[in-house]
A = this chain, B = another copy of it.
Amino acid sequence: MLQHSNTFDIRFSQAQVDQFAALSGDSNPLHLDAEYAATTTFKRPIMHGILGAALFSKAMGMDFPGPGTVYLSQTLQFKRPMFVDTDYSVVLTVTAHDPIKHTATLSTEINDKATGKVCTSGEAMVMNLAVL
């Protein structure tokens, strides 16, 4: 039986954002260059949206439902930017579960802990090999 929802807190450093830029090749100055970011509507560097999305993969692969999870699909709406040195909550909630196919649909969300506002939202579909 799947538990209904899973929540954890996260905070990234600029060093982690730099590491993700090197790994992905995405060195968009919006993520790395404070001087450039100051000229934009965001005023300071914003995190890569996909680095936030990696937290959904982490939650599903490690805990919910856990090891053996295979990602089938994910939708992502980047509603508000995420910043380094800022506390976020990651919330996953099972919205549908097929015990025959061993698949689940989850709503996936990253919220700013201070304001409660949604930064990234979307929906994931996963299958769990461990229970097949």
Contact = CB atoms under 8 A, between A and B. Distances in A.
Interface in A98-132: 129
A17 B99 CA distance: 31
Give the number of copies in the complex.
2
A113 to B, nearest CB: 18
Contacts of A40: 68, 129
Interface residues of A, number: 40
A3 interface: no
A52 to B, nearest CB: 10
Contacts of A95: none
Interface of A: 16, 19-20, 23-31, 36, 40-41, 48-51, 53-58, 61-62, 67-78, 129
